[in-house]
Amino acid sequence: MSNFLNTHRKFLIFLSLIIAVIILFWHLRNRYISHPLKTDRIDNTVRKTESVITPKPDEAKSHYVTGSVLTKEGKLDEAVIHYFMALQINPEYFEARNDLGVALYRQGKIDEAREHYLTALKINPEYPEAHFNMGFVLLKQGKTEDAMKYFYETLRLKPDFYRAHNNIGGILVRNDKFDEAIHHFSEAVRIKPDFVDAHKNLGAVLKHLGRTEEAEKHFREAEQEDSR
């Protein structure tokens, strides 16, 4: 009987040890083995990650404004970087696309500038600044007829765009259409009385036509504005 009890006791001890080992293994498995996240936990993690890496629309505007300031300061390389960053955030940002073209043009990258103006117009065909800039590029390339189309479209969209009036006047002078040129130069100085280039251009045409007194008036206006 005593042998039976001893054997039974040993069996219970052995069984307890096996159970303890199993419990220990399970504990270690849960502690050191990674388990898949639940669906709701994955969704929450993705949402939190997106909120960190997804740029906000106002960040595009911030880069655009910074680019504009740098352009005015003549820091064109830095300006171009900010315009590109704005477009990375919002590829449809046509104002940034247009102003990137302006900065590139000032760097002498005329073909690149032209492509950005065209892209801006694809996004917003009613954007007068991009029409004007396209006309300006074409004018510099000697494509005056094409340039005129863009300048006239600029005025259709924005009749008080005085620089478009001035450029149209300049092209008309080259074609000996002096009366029409006078009309556009006059419109330019009417809209912007301190526009020196238009005063000079108008004075030159009037002088050419023998209207000396009127011409001198505009030359004086230009000189006064230059001295300010």
The mean pLDDT of 79-88, rounded to a whole number, is: 96
Distances from the Cα of 4 to the Cα of 9, 12, 15, 147, 208, angstroms: 9, 12, 16, 112, 135
Q: All domains of the chain, ordered by start, with CATH?
A: 56-143 (1.25.40.10), 159-228 (1.25.40.10)
Given a cut of 70, whether residue 56 has pLDDT beyond it is no
User: Which comes out higher in pLDDT, residue 155 or 36?
Assistant: 155
Return the minimum-mean-pLDDT range out of 54-63, 125-134, 212-221: 54-63
Distances from the Cα of 173 to the Cα of 69, 198, 223, angstroms: 35, 13, 22
Q: How far is residue 197's CA from residue 205's CA, in Å, rounded to a whole number?
A: 12
* pLDDT value at residue 55: 53
* pLDDT value at residue 18: 55
pLDDT tens string 87-119: 999 999 999 999 999 999 999 999 999 999 999
Question: Is the dihedral angle over the CA atoms 153, 156, 158, 161 positive or is it negative?
Answer: positive
Q: How far is residue 197's CA from residue 220's CA, in Å, rounded to a whole number?
A: 12
The answer to whether the pTM exceeds 0.85 is: no
Give the max Cα distance, the chain: 143
Looking at residue 73, its amino acid is: E
